[in-house]
Amino acid sequence: MESLWHLLASVLLKQFPLMESSWHLLASVLLKQLPLMESSWHLLASVLLKQLPLMESSWHLLASVLLKQLPLMESLWHLLASVLLKQLPLMESLWHLLASVLLKQLPLMESPWHLLASVLLKQLPLMESSWHLLASVLLKQLPLMESSWHLLASVLLKLFPLMESPWHLLASVLLKQLPLMESLWHLLASVLLKQFPLMESSWHLLASVLLKQLPLMESSWHLLASVLLKQLPLMESSWHLLASVLLKQLPLMESLWHLLASVLLKQLPLMESLWHLLASVLLKQLPLMESSWHLLASVLLKLFPLMESLWHLLASVLLKQLPLMESSWHLLASVLLKQLPLMESSWHLLASVLLKQLPLMESLWHLLASVLLKQLPLMESLWHLLASVLLKQLPLMESSWHLLASVLLKLFPLMESLWHLLASVLLKQLPLMESSWHLLASVLLKQLPLMESLWHLLASILPVSV
């Protein structure tokens, strides 16, 4: 009868508005039959899916009627879901056809989507056992649906504000599925990253909704982080694209950054074992992201005062990673030092926060010093630039110099073996810094009375080092 199906469909679809009052009755009867008809579902699906292109013109009518029935059918949805999900592997070959038709209908169905979303999200806990099956099938379809992704994204992103209250439920279910879907993540990442430029206009909306969910999802963040970080090497080729889009969004997301920072920083101890992997990938991207660094820096520096209470935690984790990242430090240094002139106006803010952290980080300073001093010969060509910026900041930082001096001088005995290296580099810079020496001298001399208690320590070391 397949040849007659299109005729039957066109007649039945025209009857939809007339039969609306009876649909709930029809649905309750049909849904109860689902377990009895399971053996025949694959046959039914193959026939119906082949009719999709023929029925496209009538789909909007069908959708408007069915979506209105959703609240009435909610009690039966779990039954429907359990049967349909079992059919997924059988219908895989026909999924591309289904996807192409449904995605074209998205703009027509936008107004009833919120209703659909609220019902489906309530079903998530009931369907959890079948999610892995659903994910494996859908993710395999991603390459086939790529051409329609932009359309799908524009519709879904518009629904974010409407769905905010059920998002926590969605997040808790999806995050539990992450380990099951790991083998398919690379496929998902390659498709989604290609869509970034197309979705840029909607990113701010997406960010505002997701960031508000952060406190709700905190308990699941470690799981998310472990999966995503493992994917980093697979996604490296697409990172530059991701970075260029995200960095452009920074000014739009500024008001929500403090929330993001407080949640992420709390996760640092949990993610420590994976930090080296993250660092190796990110550091390789530095040259590609150079043009956007100034934007990133201006936003991050504004957050310093907000994040002060969490800095010690951040510092303890990052400093422990220093030996692991040593091979990439020269690359990091060359990029950061080039940004110094651009960030000058914000340096005083940066300095005031970092200097307050010095006593907290003292135990880790020796580690930092040993790594940085080894990099000195590599960074020599950029030292003049660093010196010119730092020396201009001296008057602004005067009030904090005594604190800085007390910490540095305590480190002298620990750094003695590296002092000769430091001295050879700094002495080469002397002619370049001459114009600023008077400024340096006036500041340092004002500090002399404050540092008197530490002078004996300095005096005992200098004869040995020099």
User: Measured between alpha carbons, how far is 24 from 65 in angstroms, rounded to an integer?
Assistant: 11
- Cβ pair 141, 95 in contact under 8 A: yes
CA trace torsion 334, 337, 341, 344 (10° rounding): 150
CA nearest to 290, candidates 252, 331, 325, 345: 331
| Number of Cβ atoms within 10 Å of the Cβ of 171 | 18
**The pLDDT value given to residue 189:** 53
* pTM listed for this prediction: 0.32
Mean pLDDT per 10-residue segment, the chain (466 residues):
52 52 52 53 53 55 54 54 55 53 51 51 52 52 53 51 49 52 52 52 52 54 54 54 54 53 55 54 54 55 54 55 55 55 55 56 56 57 57 57 59 56 57 56 57 58 46
Q: What is the crossing angle of helices 221-235 and 239-307, to 10°? A: 140
**The pLDDT value given to residue 26:** 47
- Cβ pair 244, 199 in contact under 8 A: no
Q: Rounded to 5 degrees, what angle do the CA atoms 356, 360, 361 make? A: 100
Please give the single-letter amino acid code of residue 84: L
**The pLDDT value given to residue 66:** 54
User: Measured between alpha carbons, how far is 421 from 326 in angstroms, rounded to an integer?
Assistant: 17
CA nearest to 406, candidates 457, 445, 442, 368: 457
DSSP string, 89-132: HHHHHHHHHHHHHHHHHHHHHHHHHHHHHHHHHHHHHHHGGGHH
